[in-house]
Amino acid sequence: MIEHLPALIIAIPLFGAFIAPLFKKKQSIAAVWAILITAITVILSLMLMYQVRLHGIIVYVFGADKPTIVLPSGYKVPIRIMFEIDGIGAFMAISATLMSFVGALYSYSHVKAESGLEKYYALLLLLEVGILGMVLTGDLFNLFVFLEIAGIAGSALVGFRNYRGEASEAGIKYLIVSAVASLMVLFAIGILYGEYGNLNLAYISRQVSLSTLDMIAFGLLFASFAMKCGSVPMHYWVPDAYTEVPAGINPVLLVSTYASLYALFRVSFTLFANVSISLERVGWIMSVLGVLTMFIGVTMALVQKDVKRLMSYHAISQTGYMLLGVGVGLTVLHNSDALAEFGRTAMAGGIFHIINHIIYKSLLLMTAGALFYVTGTRNLNEMGGLARKMPITTLCFIVGAAAISGLPPFNGFASKFLIYESSYRLNPLLAVFAMVTSILTLASFVKVFASAFLGPPLEKFENVREVPRPMIVAMVILALLCILFGLFPDVVLNKIVYPAVDALINVAQYQSWGGLA
């Protein structure tokens, strides 16, 4: 069974997704079913990480024992669909499965009053399948297919509350962005296929050169994935989608955004390794995009009154940190001294920030969902004095807000510190912008805390109670993870983050499977 782990981790949630619509009559069973399936995938992804750490890269081939089997005529190219799982793939798989589980648990109470829940859970599981497929695949066309699955399931969930016009508005915005982005990805795949006659990532990455066509394909892929991960010139869909989606889906939608970020890293580091190594400016473009993204995101967040919209702008701004960290690493990729000195640390910071941000931003968006659940509004000016009524939610919010502002000893500090100290070595200005952004983040979360939780208790919230237990459990799990990751960052860094960083840096290892071609 263990050798079929990569197939099972896709097959089980896919099976779950197609069974879920059958529970039309008993919708709470659909919720329990989704929680069960996502819990299984969490275990599978942890096993996958263990296997990757034990044996190195796993190459799983559909329809053959090993990838090296070629055509009888002796034409030596990879011809089958394969999954290729290295450190960063397994890292993203853990993030995805963990967040799907927490999201399903939270949804159990949060959306209980809505109808059509069997479809909601089916889409949740499909979204998980899309993300897992994107991060595990070793085949370009597969990447496109899973990108589309995640895009369709994600936008259907954004528009889930179809009795609200705004939800449909946000949904179609997200869908148009993801449809255009994935069509351009397919176009780039077509160019690469026309040139090299293959779709395998490892195979193409050995052939890629600095020719014009390759540069066009690289530009298309880079722009499309930057668009889908909410980097600055194309960030406008993020606040709409995150605000309108039910809070239980927020964690999964966040991971699906970062699956595109993963694809961006994969394309820049593995597929176009030859180009990235010879052109320093690819890394600079990524770093500058990161700085712009974090600064514009946070300044937009400062003026928001809608609590979820405010947090969504912070999600854009935090994506900037990841782009900055990994961009610094990409800039010095050709220079092995600088890479060992600070490039590797910067990338570790950027990648560690992915999982940290997923954890604390999901926590914050869930507390916002809890506020919406009890008050029925998302407008900060109408809330107040909720701290006494909702002590656990308040505590979770404080943990999340401290983590996102980069205060020690929470997890945001651990990864931001790595990014500050390493981006300073490349250019001090980058680190200055990163720190200013952090201070502005703190400022806007102080505002949320003061207006929603502090102040005199309002009369209309007299009967407000703490939210139901499944929501509490989901929030407390994430709050504990925030504190644990902040207290013991070395454990996390050594166990899962540095393997992911080394997987990105060591292109040769990714390309060398089976010694084929």
Partner 1 sequence: MNGSIWVNFPFIVVALLLAIGFYTIGFKRNLIKVVIGIEILEGAVNLFLVALGYVKGGYAPIYTLAPPEAANPQNMVLPTPQALTLTSIVIGVAVSALMLAFAVNIYKHYGTLDVTKIRRLRG
Q: Is 141 in the site for partner 1 (CB under 8 A)?
A: yes
Q: Is 219 in the site for partner 1 (CB under 8 A)?
A: no
Q: Rank residues 151 and 343 by Cβ distance to partner 1 and give the closer one.
A: 151
Q: Is 187 in the site for partner 1 (CB under 8 A)?
A: yes
Which of the ranges 162-170, 345-353, 397-405, 484-492 carries the binding residues for partner 1, by CB under 8 A? 162-170
Q: Is 176 in the site for partner 1 (CB under 8 A)?
A: yes
Token digits of residue 290 = 């990161």
- Please pick, from the candidates 38, 100, 109, 155, the single residue that binds partner 1 as defined by CB under 8 A: 155
CB atoms within 10 A of CB 439: 11
User: CA-CA distance, 97 to 356, in Å (whole number)?
Assistant: 15
Which of the ranges 166-174, 346-354, 445-453, 479-487 carries the binding residues for partner 1, by CB under 8 A? 166-174
Q: Are 255 and 95 in contact (CB under 8 A)?
A: yes
- Please pick, from the candidates 190, 219, 233, 408, the single residue that binds partner 1 as defined by CB under 8 A: 190
CB atoms within 10 A of CB 455: 13
Q: Is 436 in the site for partner 1 (CB under 8 A)?
A: no
Q: Rank residues 95 and 250 by Cβ distance to partner 1 and give the closer one.
A: 250
Q: Is 376 in the site for partner 1 (CB under 8 A)?
A: no
- Please pick, from the candidates 164, 281, 460, 495, the single residue that binds partner 1 as defined by CB under 8 A: 164
Q: Rank residues 156 and 402 by Cβ distance to partner 1 and give the closer one.
A: 156
Q: Is 169 in the site for partner 1 (CB under 8 A)?
A: yes
**Distance from the Cα of residue 474 to its chain's centroid:** 18
- Please pick, from the candidates 152, 247, 249, 380, the single residue that binds partner 1 as defined by CB under 8 A: 152
Q: Are 92 and 115 in contact (CB under 8 A)?
A: no
Site string for partner 1, 238-277 (x = CB under 8 A): -xx--xx---------------------------------
Token digits of residue 329 = 């690493």
Q: Is 145 in the site for partner 1 (CB under 8 A)?
A: yes
- Of 458, 457, 453, the residue nearest 398 (C-alpha): 453
- Please pick, from the candidates 186, 370, 419, 430, the single residue that binds partner 1 as defined by CB under 8 A: 186
> Minimal distance in Å, beta carbon 193 to partner 1?
7
User: Three-class SS string for 264-307?
Assistant: HHHHHHHHCHHHHHHCHHHHHHHHHHHHHHHHHHHHHHHCCCEH
> Minimal distance in Å, beta carbon 108 to partner 1?
26
User: CA-CA distance, 492 to 501, in Å (whole number)?
Assistant: 13
CA angle 65, 186, 95 (to 5 degrees): 65
User: CA-CA distance, 116 to 125, in Å (whole number)?
Assistant: 15
Residues numbered 74 to 113 that lie near partner 1 (CB under 8 A) are: none
Which of the ranges 21-29, 301-309, 324-332, 371-379 carries the binding residues for partner 1, by CB under 8 A? 301-309
246: left (phi over 0), alpha (psi -120 to 50) or beta: beta
User: CA-CA distance, 404 to 407, in Å (whole number)?
Assistant: 8
Q: Is 469 in the site for partner 1 (CB under 8 A)?
A: no
Q: Which amino acid is at 452?
A: A
> Minimal distance in Å, beta carbon 305 to partner 1?
8
Q: Is 128 in the site for partner 1 (CB under 8 A)?
A: no
Q: Rank residues 171 and 329 by Cβ distance to partner 1 and give the closer one.
A: 171
Q: Are 76 and 214 in contact (CB under 8 A)?
A: no
CA angle 84, 229, 176 (to 5 degrees): 110
Q: Rank residues 46 and 180 by Cβ distance to partner 1 and give the closer one.
A: 180
Q: Rank residues 169 and 421 by Cβ distance to partner 1 and give the closer one.
A: 169
Half-sphere exposure (Cβ direction) of 155: Cα atoms closer than 13 Å: 19
Q: Rank residues 106 and 146 by Cβ distance to partner 1 and give the closer one.
A: 146
Q: Is 172 in the site for partner 1 (CB under 8 A)?
A: yes
Helical ranges in 197-267 per DSSP H: 201-207, 212-228, 237-244, 250-266
User: CA-CA distance, 387 to 377, in Å (whole number)?
Assistant: 16
| 3-state DSSP assignment of residue 405 | coil
Q: Is 180 in the site for partner 1 (CB under 8 A)?
A: yes
Q: Rank residues 172 and 215 by Cβ distance to partner 1 and give the closer one.
A: 172
Query: Helices 87-110 & 117-136, crossing angle to 10 degrees?
Result: 170
> Minimal distance in Å, beta carbon 148 to partner 1?
5
| 3-state DSSP assignment of residue 84 | strand
Interface residues with partner 1 (CB under 8 A) are: 141, 144-145, 148, 151-152, 155-156, 159, 162, 164-166, 168-172, 175-176, 179-180, 183, 186-187, 189-190, 193-194, 199, 239-240, 243-244, 303-304, 309
